[in-house]
Chains A and B, each alone.
Chain A
Amino acid sequence: MSSVLFDVPGPRARLRYRILTVVGIAVLLGALAYVIYRFYDTGQFTARKWSWAEYRVQQEALFNGLLNTLRAFAVGAVLAMLFGAVFAAARLSDHVFWRGPSTVVVEFFRAVPLLIMMFFFYYGLPTIGIKMSPFMAVVLGLTLYNGSVLAEVFRAGINSLPKGQSEAAYALGMRKTQVMVLVLLPQALRAMLPTIISQLVVLLKDTALGFIITYEELLDWARDLGGQLLFGRPYVPVIIVASAIYIGLCLLLSWFATYLEKRNRRSKKVLPIDTGDAGNVVAGSAMGQV
């Protein structure tokens, strides 16, 4: 934190902070204890509710769900970055012929809710004879939405470079493509990498939307197994497992982004550019689907 909102505490303030600390811990522990008691009281920790974990079929189902989640993420991430690169280039073009339509496309896909887009591909397109598997609908939705956001991120990154960079490159006699590929892109990418990874976290989170259009991913596994009477409807245990996996995966990616950001701050190769614009783009979209 850059600002210091409080002084170094004196004796009375220290006492006050200590009392507040004790109160805070007490409230926190109380709430936790109550929740754990509710878990215990409703029998969520009984062996029967967790016995599914011993069955090979269920283990394979869990593995399959996880695999499907990761598959949608991997394909979506690659395609979204391609889409973003192409549309960022088009939006930066000097020709209205490219700039105009690509602006409309990017703004449109950022404005429509991602779930509605997936509905459109999965339930809407069969009306005109195009049938899609849930996987394709999920990947297409993720690509179009996150690709549009990434296009804005790339564009903001290139725009935030000092003007002298492109001017110097033009003065050396480089062509437009050379300036972009050799001078601007490498610098912008390096500076934007943390933001790009954060957007990939959003993409990973949004794969869970596939559950609503019957894509058999991790959350779908949880709902499926959770309803089985044989194991006493273990909704709570499976949601705990699914949450741990989702949150763990996203945390790993987030930490990677923070690590890159810290490395950038230390590195002398990265110009200290103002990423405010891109920050704003992501503020809206970090919520997922946004």
Chain B
Amino acid sequence: MGVLTNNLTLFRDGFATTLQLFLYSAVLSLLLGTFLAMLRVSPVPVFRAIGTTYVTVVRNSPLTLVFGFFVFAYPYLEIIKFDFFTSAIVALTLYTSAFICEVVRSGINTVPVGQAEASRALGLTFPQMLGSVVLPQALRSVVPPLVSTLIALLKNTTIAAGFSVSEAGAIRDSLSEQGANMLLGLTWIAFGFVVLVIPLTLLQRVLEKRWSVAR
């Protein structure tokens, strides 16, 4: 208990940064992921190819490598300067959006073809059909895997600790400087993550019940 109570501010700040990283990258990757899914079902072949290539490459590269690129190599290209926190958000967003894209696309596949056909019969254009008929139904049907992906994102934020962002995973560094009991400290960090995952799991159940569509 001593490790936690003696370092309350350390733990609080660490987990606050983790939550910030999580919220920013969750919102951004949901947006980018949905956009990529739209590209992947588009009638224009080039857009589909772009979406597919992005998803294939990103899904097959380790997140640590994406972080490594943005922290080590990217500054040497002298494009726009990012601080460590922004680099972490960019890396997490680019990585997670590929997985969100796949989830959303599998959701689009569950929407019956009749929905798209009916929209076309009403004269809706492709973007209208996607935006107001197919996507709303698709997103509702993939809430469980979508939240699973977000839980994974929450756990992935720890990697930022290896790249100079002082979030929950980096609490260890400060504890080791103090010579505190690392075993207990790390147990508390693990416990903190379990506590953070629980509300997300509850949200998953609630949304699943409320949004499930009878077909």
In contact, A219 and B65 (Cβ under 8 angstroms): yes
Q: Is A20's CB within 8 Å of the partner chain B?
A: yes
In chain A, residues 203-231, which have Cβ atoms closer than 8 Å to a Cβ of chain B? Answer: 205-209, 211-212, 219, 222-223, 226
Are A236 and B77 in touch, CB under 8 angstroms?
yes
Contact of B193 among A24, A28, A111, A280 (CB under 8 A): A111
Query: A201 and B60: CB pair below 8 A?
Result: yes
Query: Do A284 and B186 have beta carbons less than 8 Å apart?
Result: no
**Stretch from A56-64, A75-83, A121-129 that touches the partner:** A121-129
A211 touching B145, Cβ below 8 Å:
no
Dominant SS at the A interface? helix
Instruction: Knowing A219-B64, A247-B61, A286-B59, say if A17 contacts B44 (CB, 8 Å).
Output: yes
User: Interface range on chain A: under 10, 10 to 19, 20 to 34, or 35 or more?
Assistant: 35 or more
Contacts of A112 in B (CB 8 A): 155, 190, 193-194
Chain A positions 101 through 117: 1 when the CB is less than 8 Å from some CB of chain B, otherwise 0? 00000001001111111
The listed residue (B108, B113, B149) touching A283 by CB distance below 8 A is B149
Contacts of B189 in A (CB 8 A): 116, 119
B62 → A minimal CB distance (Å): 4
Docked CA distance A86–B45 (Å)? 46
Q: How far is the CA of A2 from the CA of B77 in the complex (A)?
A: 42
> Once the chains bind, are A5 and B186 in contact (CB under 8 Å)?
no
Chain B residues lying within 8 Å of A283, measured Cβ to Cβ, are 99, 103, 145, 148-149
Q: What is the minimal beta-carbon distance from A10 to any residue of chain B, in angstroms?
A: 12
B50 proximity list for chain A (CB < 8 A): 24, 28
Residues of A contacting B45 in the complex (Cβ-Cβ under 8 angstroms): 21
Selecting from A161-169, A185-193, A238-246, the interface stretch reads: A238-246
Of all chain A residues, which has the CB nearest B100? A287
B183 touches A20 (CB 8 A): no
- Write the B34-70 contact mask toward A (1 if CB under 8 angstroms, else 0): 0000000101111100100000110111111100110
The 8 A CB mask of A257-290 against B (1 = contact, 0 = none) is 0000000000000000000000110011111111
A191 to chain B, nearest CB (A): 19
Contact A290 B155 (CB under 8 A): yes
Task: Find out whether the CB atom of A2 lies under 8 angstroms from the CB atom of B56.
Answer: no
Answer yes or no: B158 CB below 8 A from chain A CBs. Answer: yes
Q: Which of A24, A128, A206 has the most chain B CB atoms inside 10 A of its CB?
A: A24
Asked if A254 lies at the interface with its beta carbon under 8 angstroms from chain B, I say: yes
Selected contact of B159 from candidates A3, A120, A209, A246, CB within 8 Å: A209
**Who on chain A is nearest to B201 by CB?**
A111
- Evaluate contact between A209 and B64: CB separation under 8 angstroms: yes
Contact assessment for B61 and A226 in the assembled complex, using a CB-CB cutoff below 8 Å: no
Inter-subunit contact B113/A4 (CB<8 Å) = yes
A119 and B186 within 8 A (CB): yes
Q: Is A256 an interface residue (CB 8 A)?
A: no
Is there contact, CB below 8 Å, between B116 and A222? no
Q: Which residues of chain A are near B86, meaning CB under 8 Å?
A: none
Which residues of A does B touch, CB under 8 Å? 1-7, 9, 13, 17, 20-21, 24-25, 28, 35, 38-39, 41-42, 44, 108, 111-117, 119-120, 123-128, 201, 205-209, 211-212, 219, 222-223, 226, 233, 235-236, 239, 242-243, 246-247, 250-251, 254, 279-280, 283-290
| Closest 8 pairs (CB-CB, A-B) | A284-B148, A212-B162, A290-B152, A250-B60, A208-B62, A208-B64, A283-B145, A113-B155
